[in-house]
Structure 1
Amino acid sequence: MNTDESSLGRCPDCGERIPEAWLLVEYTKDDGTDGTWAECPSCEDVVAPE
């Protein structure tokens, strides 16, 4: 496993790191900021990484 893999952030449900490979959607919010949805490899939920 590549330990240098970039992270999207942490799962708000279980706290595990979410690797970029688990990214599902990138979008622009109404306020102009970027948002992401990703699947957590640990709890298998679709979340907005923190």
Structure 2
Amino acid sequence: MNADESSLGRCPECGECIPKTWLLIEYKTDDNETDLWAECPACESVVAPE
């Protein structure tokens, strides 16, 4: 994850920063980790930000 609080991280497809406002879903996994999916505003892909 990115240290910038207004960002979810970077798109693994194009490398652009993904703002929190583009978050689609956030959920807990079976091992109690938090995962999320977001749409990248630059390449319009649905990704798991890095």
Normalising by structure 1, what TM-score? 0.86
Structure 1 or 2, whichever has the larger Rg, is: 1
Matched, 1:22 2:25: no
Q: Give 1:31 shift.
A: 1.4
Normalising by structure 2, what TM-score? 0.86
Q: Give 1:8 shift.
A: 0.2
Q: Give 1:29 shift.
A: 1.1
Structure 1 regions of 5+ residues with no counterpart? Answer: none
CA RMSD in angstroms comes to 1.1
- Number of residue pairs matched? 46
> Identity across aligned pairs (percent)?
70
